[in-house]
Amino acid sequence: IEFTITRNLENNFIVKRIHFSKQGKDYNFQERVKVLSINDFRNYFVESKLKILNLQGNYNLEEFNPETSDRLIIMGQKNKKN
């Protein structure tokens, strides 16, 4: 099976389209992921009473770099009650 995969930025979403054919039948799938900034995540954590402990940039848990990291992995915990 040969897959055709495209990614586009549309209305602040990353849209990934996947197409392939199998036994003469065409298949098309779409994934949509909202583009969020690190500040969006910080605000979500504050609203949820969570504390950000670390920001990692890949599955090897290297430090997050907004210019070069493959992804954003956030390590956090619940804020302790006083």
What are phi and psi for residue 56, nearest 5 degrees? -110, 150
Both tokens of 17, joined, read 């389209």
pLDDT digits (tens, 9 = 90+) for 52-76: 999 999 999 999 998 999 899 999 9
What are phi and psi for residue 69, nearest 5 degrees? -70, 145
pLDDT digits (tens, 9 = 90+) for 20-49: 999 999 999 999 999 998 899 999 999 999
Question: Distance (Å, rounded) from C-alpha 60 to C-alpha 28?
Answer: 32
